[in-house]
Amino acid sequence: MKWVYIEDIHKYEGQEVELRGWLHNKRSSGRIKFLMIRDGTGFIQGVAAEKDTDDEGFALINDLNQEASIVVRGSVHREQRAPTGYELSVRSIEAIQNKEGYPISPKSHGVDFLLGNRHLWVRSSKQWAVLRIRAEVVRSVQEYLWEKGFLQLDAPIFTPAACEGTTTLFEVNYFGEPVYLSQSGQLYSEATALAFSRVYCFGPTFRAEKSKTRRHLTEFWQIEPEMAYAHLEDAMELAEGMVGNAIHRVLEKRKEELRTLDRDTTLLESTITPFPRIRYEEAVRRVNELGESMEYGDDFGAPQETVLAMSFDTPFMITHFPIDVKAFYMRKDSETGDTLSFDLLAPEGYGEIVGGGEREFDIKELEKSIESRELPMEAFQWYLDLRRFGSVPHAGFGLGIERLVAWICGIKHIRETIPFPRMLGRVYP
Ligand code: 4AD
Ligand code: MG
C-alpha cells in the first residue's frame, strides 16, 4: 500500500493509503473511535468503526497513548467538516512505539514548562503551524533576492569588532583571544557587495539583550541584503517588496497553518506596496500625540514603538533618524545632518522588523564616526579598506525573521517563532 503524506491527501480521494505518523489525540463515541493523526505535514482525523477496522487494530486503539508512533492504513474520504476537508476510514493500525506519560497533555501548561519541553512542544499544532510559516518565510525572502540577482555569501559568526554597539556583545574566548559573536553580518556583506554587486547573508546573529521583552531574543536570524551603487530609496524599495512578497506567499501557501492559529488575515490580505513613509520627526510627534512621551533625539522604546505601530494598519517605514540613535556606519544627509536610514515596522503593535539604510562611504567621515564612538580603529582597518579602494554609495538592510514571522502569525512573543529560542535565562533544551 502506498505511503503518502497528509499534505498530499487530496490526491488520494477514494483510495487506500498508508500514513506514518503519531497519535495527536483520540476519543470514542460508542462503537466508533476517532484518532487525530499527525505526520509532520498535517493533521487528519482517522475514523475507526468496529465493522471496518481489523480486530487487532481496533483493540489496539484503546491502549494507544498520546504521541504513540503509529502506521495507519485506510481509505481517504472527503469530509466537509474536517479542517483539511478529508478523513481516513481506518482499516488497520500498528504501533511502532507506545508509551504513556507524554509530558504535554491537551490541558494547558505554563510557558516555562512548555519552553523547558520545547523539544516536544514543537509537535503541538500551534507550534507546528508557526514553524511551517517560518520555513515558508525563510524560503520566500531568499527566493525573492535570488530572482533579483543577489548572491548568498554568508558572514562569519566569530568577529573581531562590534557592528551594532558594544553593549550587547557576547564575548567568546578564541584560543586565548577575546572575539565576539556576530551582531549582524552587514560589514561583511558590504565587502562582498563591492566584489559581487548584489549580495545577501543569512544566518544567526547574537545580542546580549539583558531584558526580557516579547521582541528580543539573544540569538535570532537576519537576512541582510547589500547593494553597491545604491541609495536609501533602493534599500527601502527592496525591503518593502521582500516583506510584501513574504506575506502574499504565506497567505497563498500556508492557509491551513494560519487557520490553525486563528489568525485574522484581514490586514495581511490588504497589504499593498509601497508602504507609507514618515520621517523620524513626524514619528516622534505622532508618538506624543498618541499619549507616550519621547523627545527629538530619543530612540523608540517598547511603549513608543507599540503605540505608533498600533496606529497603522499596514507596514510602514520611518526614515532619517538622528545620528545618535543609529550605528557608526550610517551615512549622514549632508543637508539636514540626519542619517540616510530607515526602519520598517509592522502594524498591530508589532513594531520594527527591518533596519537599514545607506552606508557612509567617505573614509574621513567614517573614521570620525568610529573615533567619536570610541570603537577600536585597529579592528576596523579591513572595513576602512572598502572606502580606500573603489568606494561607492551602497545600501542595505537587515530583516529579522522572527519579528516578521511573529507578526504574520499574530503571536504575542517571538520566542515561539524559532525552533529553539535563546533568551535571557534560557539555553535549555
Ligand atoms: O536594526 P538592527 O539592529 O540592524 C542591523 O543589525 C543592521 N546591521 C542590519 C543591516 O543593515 N544589514 O537589526 C536588524 C533587525 C531588526 O529590525 C529586527 O527585526 C531584528 O534584526 N532584531 C532582533 N530580532 C530578535 N531579537 C533581537 N534581539 C533583535 N535585534 C534586532
Ligand atoms: Mg534597528
Which ligand is in closest contact with the Cα of 344? 1
What pLDDT digit, counting tens, does each position of 228-278 carry?
999 999 999 999 999 999 999 999 999 999 999 999 999 999 999 999 999
Cell representation of residue 54: 481489523
10 Å CB burial of residue 83 (0-12, 13-18, 19+) is middle
Work out which ligand 1 atom sits closest to the CA atom of 226: 12
* Cβ proximity of 318 and 237 under 8 Å: no
How remote is the CA of residue 148 from the centroid of ligand 1, in Å? 23
| Sheet architecture: strand order including 158-159 | 158-159, 177-181, 171-174
Q: What are the two backbone dihedrals, phi and then psi, of residue 166, each rounded to the nearest 5 degrees?
A: -90, -10
Kindly give the distance from the C-alpha atom of residue 13 to the centroid of ligand 1, in angstroms, as a whole number: 46
User: Residue with the nearest Cα to atom 4 of ligand 1?
Assistant: 355
**Radius of gyration of the chain from its Cα atoms, rounded to whole angstroms:** 25
Count the helices and strands in the chain (H runs, E runs). Answer: 13, 16
Instruction: Please name the residue whose Cα sits nearest to atom 27 of ligand 1.
Output: 216
Is the CB of residue 189 less than 8 Å from the CB of residue 155?
A: yes
- Residues forming beta bridges with residue 205, ordered by sequence position: 220
Cell of 332: 549622514
Report the atom number in ligand 1 closest to the C-alpha of 207: 28
What is the mean pLDDT of each successive set of 10 residues along the chain, which is 429 residues long? 96 98 94 96 96 96 97 97 91 98 93 97 98 98 98 97 92 97 98 98 96 94 98 98 98 96 97 97 98 95 96 97 96 94 97 98 97 94 98 98 98 97 95
Q: How far is the CA of 400 from the centre of ligand 1 (A)?
A: 6
Whose atoms come closest to the Cα of 327: which ligand? 1
Q: What is the pTM of this model?
A: 0.97
DSSP 328-382: TTBPBPTTTS-BSEEEEEETTTTEEEEEEEEBP--HHHHHHHHHHTT--GGGGHH
Q: Select from 154, 184, 236 the residue to mutate for testing ligand 1; criterion: most ligand atoms less than 8 Å from CB.
A: 184
Domains of the chain: 2-97 (2.40.50.140), 118-417 (3.30.930.10)
* 3-state secondary structure (DSSP) of residue 221: strand
Q: How far is the CA of 343 from the centre of ligand 2 (A)?
A: 7
Residues with Cβ within 8 Å of 266's Cβ and at least 6 positions away in sequence, in order, are none
Q: For strands 177-181 and 351-358, give the pairing.
A: unpaired
Strand, helix or coil for residue 29: strand
Provide φ and ψ at 333, rounded to 5°.
Answer: -80, 120
Q: To which H or E segment does residue 215 belong?
A: none
Ligand 2 center from residue 313 Cα (angstroms):
21
The alpha carbon of 15 and the centre of ligand 2 are apart by a number of angstroms equal to 53
CA of 355 to the centre of ligand 1 (A): 6
Distance from the CA of 354 to the center of ligand 2, in angstroms?
Answer: 7
Minimal-distance CA residue to ligand 1 atom 21? 400
Ligand nearest to the CA of 357: 1
Q: Minimum-distance ligand to the CA of 217?
A: 1
Quick check: 319 and 358 in contact, CB under 8 A? no
Cell 580603529 maps to which residue?
A: 377
Q: Are 116 and 429 in contact (CB under 8 A)?
A: yes
Per 3-state DSSP, what percentage of the chain is helix, strand, and coil (rounded to 5)? 35, 25, 35
Q: How far apart are CA 401 and CA 138, in angstroms?
A: 7
Please list every protein residue whose CB sits less than 6 Å from any atom of ligand 1.
163-164, 184, 186, 207, 209, 216-217, 220, 222, 224, 352-356, 396-398, 400, 402-403
- Measured from the Cβ of residue 322, the count of other Cβ atoms closer than 10 Å reads 19
CA distance 179 to 184: 14
87 phi and psi, to 5 degrees? -140, 155
Ligand 1 atom at minimal distance to the Cα of residue 353: 19
The Cα 345–Cα 322 span in angstroms is 18
Q: What is the pLDDT of residue 147?
A: 98
pLDDT of residue 395: 98
